[in-house]
Chains A and B, each alone.
Chain A
């Protein structure tokens, strides 16, 4: 009887050891998965990359929510809908939006006659939607602009405006 117990125990131990070896090898060799919760939170954010929340973009904010317990009501373009969805996902209580919620559906337009080609707006654009070389006119790739308005304060000649679709 003891032998059968021993056989069973040793078989299980060997399997466990083998599995452990395989797993540890895999975890060291294969790339680590990104934190799935951060990705889920990031998916709920509007991806405007407007930095109104105080973080440099949507993913950094998602990271802060998950890791540093940042408030979930900071997203200005997301509004109450986003807060509700984040609350559902994270099991937190929904709270009122911290600041003004704003509808970011606009499109940045550069007045090309005034542009001096300083490249400031191009460098600040979080989605690389502004193109132009130094000392040459810049323009906005309309299909890629998220309307985050980050370029507006950077323009030294105030030639960027936000156009809202009719």
Chain B
């Protein structure tokens, strides 16, 4: 086992903020029982929605495929317990645009019977790269760090570039959230087992497990398993507790001291980053045959009576989970799915736990921000921005809708971490403004692409019409020519034909 290392890259800005993690990491992970109803959205991943393969009224077993991956970037969905499909309908979910999304609703029978595996579990070392990728794709495994990009497709994309390191991200830098911390403490063997599978799939020889230095228990647990495994390809990197050191590009920068280029991916600097939860999910699927049907999530905040981490089935409603941990306190203001910085607030606790849900945060009214005031151009935002942008300038141009300037000031590199929001003395919701400006820019780019396509199609259309006209003119010319050359013969032919007809006609009339 190699010793934990401290040689780190440079990270600009960032924030040291109140951690508030000790609310939820004091007790072991509890298992939420099978709920009465499971709500499984068909889009729990980045990319195209999955294609539903079950009908209403059908009985399904735990682990059964209910929606298959459909499209170049997509992931399947599995039933997380046994029961009957009672509806396929829109249901409130937490996502970027809010509102409802199509979901498969399963009425559980409480027996929790698992489906028999279609193929025996083979040791991963005997599988080649392509088989392993296909297998991971079938498990419905997506990045559990928050972006929910389908893992198989990320690995496939990464495997065509030269790679040096696999980085397991156990940083979890956002306040309140402790699900990765608890996972590493209790299931470090699964996390590292997953790392070995991922290294085998990618053919890389180094793996860093990046953990924040304020998680000594997790580091200890990982180190213990490393001693057991005797795998000298894996090393621990301790990362300082600065938000947002756990964002993918920032993690790469800290761990390898290489900056991910603008518009690029960590693979451009030879790295693949996977969340520790994803790694454990890969292990459970490949070595135990259990697809991604449950996850660890943190239930916390001042509005929760007894904050803790729970292991819950995907599709369990947030209300069921909160009931399980002991319900709300009297001091409840609003519900956030995800962390306080990058999460989204929802208006109902009927939303289901999805693959992306790493935290259920119930805020009390004390944790609010002030009213928005004009920008005084203090520049505090620029000094904390981890990607070294100038949020005050971007804010200016976002207000003016100046697309060109926004682009040249690197709006598209904004990782929406929310640091600038937090330090702004005028309480300007900068991240929300940037998110909106980004959406507008994407819309505009779509429109330009659409116009360009219409232009090309119109040109093709006119060319085709010209070609057809030319062809018709040529045909006509050829016919005229034939008539001229045939001369009197053609006329006599016609006369002969008509006279024959005349002979026959009277008899018929």
Contact = CB atoms under 8 A, between A and B. Distances in A.
B396 interface: no
A68 B450 CA distance: 28
B454 interface: yes
Interface stretch (B3-11, B224-232, B459-467, B500-508): B459-467
B451 A127 contact: no
Residue with the greatest number of chain B CB neighbours at <10 A, chosen from A47, A49, A126, A129 = A47
B472 interface: no
A48 B454 CA distance: 7
A55 B321 CA distance: 64
B461 A47 contact: no
A119 interface: no
Residue with the greatest number of chain A CB neighbours at <10 A, chosen from B453, B458, B460 = B458
A144 B460 contact: no
B457 interface: yes
A47 B464 CA distance: 18
B22 interface: no
A53 to B, nearest CB: 14
B454 A49 contact: yes
A47 B461 CA distance: 13
Contact of A59 (B450, B451, B459, B460): B459
Given A46-B451, A47-B451, A57 B458 contact: yes
Contacts of B464: 128
Contacts of A46: 451
B461 A126 contact: yes
A58 interface: yes
Interface in A19-69: 42, 46-49, 57-59
Contact of A42 (B453, B455, B460, B461): B455
B457 A128 contact: yes
A146 interface: yes
B457 A57 contact: no
A96 B217 CA distance: 71
Contacts of B451: 46-47
A71 to B, nearest CB: 21
B247 to A, nearest CB: 33
B222 to A, nearest CB: 49
Interface in A110-166: 125-129, 144, 146
Given A46-B451, A47-B451, A47-B452, A127 B457 contact: yes
A82 B187 CA distance: 61
A78 B460 CA distance: 22
Nearest to B447: A46
Nearest to A146: B454
A99 to B, nearest CB: 21
A47 B459 contact: no
A50 to B, nearest CB: 10
Nearest to A105: B447
A49 B460 CA distance: 13
A66 B450 CA distance: 24
B460 A47 contact: no
A149 to B, nearest CB: 14
Interface in B16-47: none
B457 A144 contact: yes
Contacts of B450: 47, 146
Nearest to A46: B451
Nearest to B455: A47
B460 A128 contact: yes
Nearest to A126: B458
Nearest to B451: A47
Contacts of B455: 42, 47, 58-59
A47 B450 CA distance: 9
A144 B461 contact: no
Contacts of A49: 454, 458
Interface string B435-461: 000000000000000111111011111
Contacts of A125: 461
Contacts of A146: 450, 454
Residue with the greatest number of chain B CB neighbours at <10 A, chosen from A46, A59, A125, A127 = A127
Contacts of A42: 455
A128 B461 contact: yes
Contacts of B461: 125-128
Interface in B119-145: none
Interface string B459-480: 1111010000000000000000
Residue with the greatest number of chain A CB neighbours at <10 A, chosen from B452, B457, B459, B464 = B457
A144 B461 CA distance: 13
B456 to A, nearest CB: 9
A144 B453 CA distance: 8
Contacts of B453: 144
Given A59-B455, A128-B460, 13 more contacts: A47-B452, A49-B458, A58-B455, A125-B461, A126-B458, A127-B454, A127-B457, A127-B458, A129-B457, A144-B453, A144-B454, A144-B457, A146-B450
18 contacts: A46-B451, A47-B450, A47-B458, A48-B454, A57-B462, A58-B455, A58-B458, A59-B458, A59-B459, A59-B462, A125-B461, A126-B458, A126-B461, A127-B458, A127-B461, A129-B457, A144-B457, A146-B450
The 8 closest A-B pairs by CB, nearest first: A47-B451, A127-B457, A47-B454, A47-B455, A49-B458, A146-B454, A128-B461, A127-B454
